[in-house]
A and B are shown apart, each in its own frame.
Chain A
Amino acid sequence: MKVRQSGFIAEKRPILLKLRDALCAEFSYASVLAEDTVGRYYRVSRHSVSVEEGDNARGFVVKALDDGRYAEYSFNELEEASIPGIVDAVRALLAADVRPDGLGANVYEPPAEEPTLFAGATEYEQDPASLDDGAVIDRLTALRDKGLSMDEAVLDFVAQVTWNKYTKLFLSRDKDMTQSVLYTTGAVAAAAMRDQQVKQSYLPCSGLGGMELLAKMEDNAAPCVRTALDLLHSEPMIPGEYECICDPETTGMIVHEAFGHGVEMDMFVKDRAQAPQYLDKYVASPLVTMHDGASSARQTATYFFDDEGTAAHDTVVIDKGVLKRGISDLQSALILGTDPTGNGRRESFARKAYTRMTNTWFEPGQDKLEDMIGSIKYGMYLECPSSGMEDPKNWGIQCMVNIAREIKDGKLTGRIFSPVVLTGYVPDLLKSISAMSDGTELSGTGYCGKGHKEWVKVSDGGPYIKARIRLG
């Protein structure tokens, strides 16, 4: 089934067309983006039940270029009578004197646009609207009860699921594009306590689609509880450099945090990334081919066009170890003289567009996981990544991982270390990759920030990889 377009956007479309025309008559370039995002969030734990709205945004942003300068105006009230006021507000912004003495302004040419008329929607199996709130809570409650009953040491067990649906309409002089997208994310989490320390494990799942995801969550309770119980016996990490096997989620965090942020081309504009100096050079093992793009995979960051009206791409960032290109929003591409790649994304209509990742992943290799583990004399199997932070300028790595399982003589020993901090120099880590498994998995439960804000939905992943990594 195709996702239906928002009735609100359809109703406002005639006014938005008039607004577009009024702006285009006044400024050398103008665009209008309308957004209607709705969602539902369900969560059940030992002591709490929640049914809340998911992501929620309904509003508009206009972007205008005049005398080479860009301005944007976001608002969430629109009637036909308000069009002159919106044009005035944009004109006032372009004329506003907010610069300190002595600072200049970037000057842009209008973007070249191909005439484009587009309407698209993603698909789903189970419509969220077909499931009663009570039915969802009942299924999550059953899952929670299953988790809580598995062991007396389980302090808490959480089951949660969220669906989000959005329609976006992009208008400029030459473009008229509409898309409707539905994605769903879920997770189970188990907590166990010993002394003052609470140890948690977390198993996410996500997909482009509807509440069919609920069925996929039901097998996750047992492994999640087992891991939380295992963690009660974890030891502090012994710092050092290890041969490591990363599970697909940990691979995804390395792809995203360690390398993905470094090829966001708004960072090239600011001279905040090393990547431009490495174009067409080896930055990774020849085993590594890396993609980013809203059309590169079917996951939670899949869409048809970005928030600046650029069609979704499948960008090959690294091809067999060689850095080929970055990913870009429209404004950065205008400065750099490159083509935008459909990566201009906003947290919502109320926020600025930046270059942002979408679905970011490594292609699979040809190795078998058991052979990869079997090849390690002493090392660690890393899983359950929790967070990471980019450092495009210096290509430093910070990834936090919940579990490192000891490998000795090619076998998991049962010994566990937690928590673990991965650090190092990105090219060193990527060049050390010596094996990649024969399947790729993507996970899209997380949000990605730019610095410490501007959260957008992303997915990332890859195969199991074998690499040499500093752990602390």
Chain B
Amino acid sequence: MEKIVAALNALGVEQYVITEKHTDSLEAFYVKKNLDLTRRADTTVRTVRVFRPFEKDGERMLGNSEATIRPGMSEEEIRTALAGAWYAAQFVANPWYPLPKGVQAPPKADTGGFGGKSLAENMKAVAQALFAEDTAQDVFLNSAEIFMRRTENRIVSSENADVSWEQYEVWGEYVCQCKAPQDVETYHQFCCREPSPEALRAEVRHALAMTKARAQAVTVPKTGTYALVLDREQVGTLLSYYVDRSNSGMIYQKYSSFQLGDGVQGEDIAGDRLTMGLKATEPYTDFGAPMVDRPLVENGVLKTIHGGARFGHYLGVEPTGNYRAVTVPVGDTSMDELTKEPCLHAVSFSDFQMDALSGHFGGEIRLAFLHENGTVTPVTGGSVNGSILDGQGHMTFSKERFHSRDYDGPLAVRVEGVNVAGEG
């Protein structure tokens, strides 16, 4: 770090942010009931973003660019890398904006529960939980990958920041398979920052049950308009529209017309009014300023425009840092009421997507439950192609809760009037 600062001073760079990340990751790859490969990755990466003020056509500009400083680089190599970024920054003609001030604080240890044990001990405990529910013959875990990671992070800036923190995270994916009456699989991911074996076991139980249901699903839903029920991560994906549209970059560049105080769900709201919060998942912003939870939408009204320093300054709003996690209060409607017929409860897609620019959401259905005529039928195939602009006034949230790393809120949402392409 000292070599980098000395090189920056020698180049005359007055504004910069240095980010250092040391990652130690233990990884296990399972095929069927066998460990196939064990991996460890031990890497250190330092990046330096330099900011260069200049004038262009009489207007004050602030350009920036970044250089990666790798372990083992000589002082000359460091100087050359930084000089390259400093040179490039003079062509990045973005109107000037002030850099956010950072803070200086003692190092923060991760107190989430993984600390104090080796990566191997934590890994084994997670693997025990993951495979604990894999006890049946007809439906089982086909394969799994587990990544147990500890990172040490530090941010130092010319704007007073000097902060460091430790973070543990385990994440991974697993595939469930059911061979009869038809051979099918489902794909799942998990991620957590503190030991939660019971929650992981519950997720695996649910995943195995859904896989068994998919093996029963042979019917393709009929083409038509449905009341669509989405659950779990898909609710977070659907609501990411509001996070993206309230980003300062989207608003300044006119990709979004959201303004503070606007009703974001349109004028006719027959369903639940939306309340969402932005959840800080890192202790500090990219500039080393404390990152805090913030209200995003309250009763359908936009409370925060969020984002980085540049577009925040252009819009005259506080730079908040970048968020990826949201919290949403649960609704008043039980899952039983939410899935009252007729409706299509889609529990698994190939890849459920929300396009924040157009408001379209959709994906190919891998498993859904069709509730109609007093029966519940598992269906598969076909696709959802909806528009949140059409459906946002008619959303109903469940009173049951779902929690993942980036979404904590209602287990399910019902959206009326969604197009489904299927048979017929």
Residue ranges of A at the interface with B (Cβ–Cβ < 8 Å):
45-53, 56, 58-59, 69-79, 89, 93-94, 96-106, 133-134, 137, 155-156, 191, 193, 196-200, 236-237, 239-240, 269-272, 331, 350-352, 387, 389-391, 393-394, 396-398, 400, 419-421, 423-424, 451-453, 470-472
- Which residue of the partner chain A has the closest CB to B311? A47
* Distance in Å: Cβ of B128 to nearest Cβ of chain A: 4
* Interchain CB contact (< 8 A) of B34 among A101, A105, A236, A393: A105
Counting from the closest, the 5 A-B pairs by CB-CB distance are A472-B421, A239-B421, A398-B364, A389-B351, A398-B350
Could you tell me if A236 and B419 are in contact, using CB atoms closer than 8 angstroms?
yes
Q: Please, which residue of chain B has its CB at the minimum distance from the CB of A38?
A: B68
Contacts of B252 in A (CB 8 A): 47
Contact A98 B123 (CB under 8 A): yes
Among A75, A78, A155, A397, point to the contact of B255 (Cβ < 8 A). Answer: A155
By the criterion CB–CB under 8 Å, are A396 and B350 in contact? yes
Q: Are B91 and A352 in contact (CB under 8 A)?
A: no
The yes or no answer to B162 lying at the interface (CB within 8 A) is no
Give the A-B contact count at a CB cut-off of 8 A.
243
Residues 5-38 (chain B) with a chain A CB within 8 angstroms: 26-38
A297 → B minimal CB distance (Å): 27
Bound complex: CA of A271 vs CA of B422, how far in Å? 28
Contacts of A240 in B (CB 8 A): 223, 421
User: What are 22 of the A-B contact pairs (CB < 8 Å)?
Assistant: A50-B92, A52-B65, A73-B39, A73-B40, A74-B43, A76-B45, A93-B38, A96-B26, A103-B35, A103-B131, A105-B36, A137-B92, A191-B357, A196-B257, A198-B357, A239-B419, A239-B422, A270-B175, A351-B41, A398-B363, A419-B355, A470-B421
Complex CA distance for A59 and B73, rounded to whole angstroms: 12
Residues of A within 8 A of B88 (CB): 51, 133
CB closest chain-B residue, reference A200: B357
Known A-B contacts A105-B34, A156-B253, A236-B419; the reply to A74 vs B39 at CB < 8 A is yes
Across-interface contacts of A471 in B (CB, < 8 A):
421
Contact between B421 and A93, CB atoms less than 8 A apart: no
If A197-B357, A419-B358, A472-B383 touch, does A51 touch B65 (CB 8 Å cutoff)? yes
Q: B124 contacts the other chain (Cβ, under 8 Å)? A: yes
B254 near A: Cβ within 8 Å?
A: yes
- Cβ-based interface call for B359 (8 A): yes
Chain-A contact segment, one of B177-185, B282-290, B320-328: B177-185
Interface centre among B94, B349, B353 (most CB of A within 10 A): B353
Q: How far is the CA of A96 from the CA of B121 in the complex (A)?
A: 10
B199 to chain A, nearest CB (A): 17
Q: A105 to chain B: closest CB distance in Å?
A: 5
How near does chain A come to B60, taking the closest CB pair, in angstroms?
Answer: 15
Partner of B421, one of A53, A237, A452: A237
Min C-beta distance of B291 to chain A, whole Å: 23
Residues in chain A near residue B363, CB distance under 8 A: 389, 398, 421
Taking residues whose C-beta sits less than 8 angstroms from the other chain, chain B's interface range is: 35 or more
Asked if residues B44 and A98 are in contact (CB atoms below 8 Å), the reply is: no
* Most chain A beta-carbon neighbours within 10 Å: one of B26, B185, B351, B383: B383
Which of B35, B127, B184, B360 gathers the greatest number of chain A CB atoms within 10 Å? B35
Whether B87 and A106, one on each chain, are in contact in the complex, defined by CB atoms closer than 8 angstroms, is no
A89:B34 contact, CB within 8 angstroms: no
Q: What is the distance, in angstroms, from B19's C-beta to the closest C-beta of chain A?
A: 13
Instruction: Report how far A59 CA is from B173 CA in the complex, Å.
Output: 26
Given contacts A105-B34, A137-B91, contact A199 B358 (CB under 8 A): yes
Whether, in the assembled complex, B404 has its beta carbon less than 8 Å from a beta carbon of chain A, the answer is no
Within the complex, what minimum Cβ distance (angstroms) separates B182 from chain A?
A: 9
Among candidates B33, B67, B127, residue contacting A53 with C-beta atoms closer than 8 Å:
B67
Contact (Cβ within 8 A) B350 A98: no
Mask of B120-135 contacts with A, CB within 8 angstroms, 1/0: 1001100110111000
CB nearest to A74 among chain B residues: B41
B127 touches A99 (CB 8 A): yes
- The answer to whether B44 touches A104 (Cβ under 8 A) is no
A-B contact sample (10 more), CB < 8 A, given A47-B253, A106-B34? A51-B92, A53-B66, A74-B41, A105-B36, A199-B358, A236-B419, A350-B41, A391-B364, A393-B184, A472-B384
Residues of chain A with a CB closer than 8 A to B93's CB: 49
Q: Is the CB of A51 within 8 A of B91?
A: yes
Cα A236 to Cα B142 with chains together (Å):
39
Cross-chain contact A100 with B131 (CB below 8 angstroms): yes
| Contact across chains for B358 and A391 when beta carbons are under 8 A apart | no
A45 contacts B253, C-beta separation under 8 Å: yes
Determine whether B101 belongs to the interface, using a CB cutoff of 8 Å to chain A: no
Q: How far is the CA of A71 from the CA of B32 in the complex (A)?
A: 18
**Distance of A391 Cα from B257 Cα, bound (Å):** 37
Q: How far is it, in angstroms, between the C-alpha of A271 and the C-alpha of B353 when the chains are bound?
A: 27
**Contacts A133-B87, A196-B389, A198-B255 given; does A352 touch B35 at CB 8 Å:** no
CB-based nearest A residue for B253: A47
Which residues in B have their C-beta under 8 angstroms from that of A96? Answer: 26, 38, 120
Decide: B44 and A77 in contact? CB cutoff 8 A. yes
Question: Does B232 make an interface contact (CB < 8 A)?
Answer: no
Q: B91 near A77 (CB under 8 angstroms)?
A: no
Residues of B with C-beta under 8 A to A472: 223, 362, 382-385, 419-422
Contact with A along B369-391 (1 / 0, CB 8 A): 00000000000011111010100
On whether the beta carbons of B127 and A98 are closer than 8 Å, the reply is yes
B379 to chain A, nearest CB (A): 13
Query: Distance in Å from the Cβ of A157 to the closest Cβ of chain B?
Result: 12
B26 contacts A98, C-beta separation under 8 Å:
yes
Contact B362 A72 (CB under 8 A): no
A99 to B132, CA, bound (A): 12
Q: Are A352 and B253 in contact, CB atoms less than 8 angstroms apart? A: no
- Asked whether, in the complex, the Cβ of A352 is within 8 Å of the Cβ of B421, the reply is no
Nearest opposing residue in chain B for A108, CB measure: B36
Query: Given A71-B39, A239-B422, A272-B142, A100–B29 Cβ distance below 8 Å?
Result: no
- How far apart are the CA atoms of A100 and B126 in the complex, in Å? 9
Min distance, Cβ A171 to any Cβ of chain B, angstroms: 19
Q: Is B206 an interface residue (CB 8 A)?
A: no
Kindly name the residue among B42, B142, B362 whose own CB sees the greatest number of chain A CB atoms within 10 A.
B42
Cβ–Cβ contact A75 & B43, under 8 A = yes
Chain A: minimal CB distance from B356 (Å) = 9
Closest to B63 in A: A49
B390 to chain A, nearest CB (A): 9
